[in-house]
A = this chain, B = another copy of it.
Amino acid sequence: MRGLFVGRFQPFHNGHLKAIEWVLRECSDLIVLVGSSQACYEVENPFTVGERIEMVHDTLKASKLLEKCIILSIPDVNNNALWIAHVNSLVPKYDVVYTNNSLTRKLFQDAGRQVKDIPFFDRLDFDGTKIRKAMLKGTGWQKFVPKEVEKFIEKKKIIQRVQTVATGDKMC
């Protein structure tokens, strides 16, 4: 059985990794779909899609999960009713969708897909917004992310980018 797991992964954090480990107990393999792929250099979305794929890839490789996963990406679609069709055109076949997002769940359900919740291990500890706030302060974000993500963020100097983006200047 193949699962589908969608997230923005801004950044890929311990909660995501635990969720994938949990899903792979009942699925033989999993499509990890990086959503809102176009969004980057924004307060809510500092990472590019290539960077997010790299974080997911490096972490899953270190966790020995890579061979069970297919990492793909999809941009936002301006018509919510068409999003599922875009997903279905873009990814290999899958049997069940794992999500805790109510709109995502509703759209997949309306399209006749099976959807399951992920029993998130303490959602408060694995919240993207909270992690990005810590990154903005420049401290305390490391504990929320896998070792590989920490290294990646430091090598690419993403903290500095987050702080630049947070000045609120829009482009031009």
**Minimum distance in angstroms from A128 CB to a CB of chain B:** 11
| A interface bracket (residues with beta carbon within 8 Å of B) | 35 or more
Copies of chain A in the complex: 6
Residues of B contacting A37 in the complex (Cβ-Cβ under 8 angstroms): 90
Residue A126, interface by CB 8 Å:
no
Residue A92, interface by CB 8 Å:
yes
A interface list, Cβ under 8 A from B? 6-8, 33, 35-42, 48-51, 53-54, 57, 61, 66-67, 70-73, 76, 78-86, 88-93, 101-107, 110, 161, 164-165, 167, 169-172
Extra inter-chain contacts (10) besides given A50-B90, A82-B89, CB under 8 Å: A37-B90, A38-B79, A49-B90, A53-B70, A71-B72, A73-B90, A79-B89, A102-B167, A102-B169, A105-B164
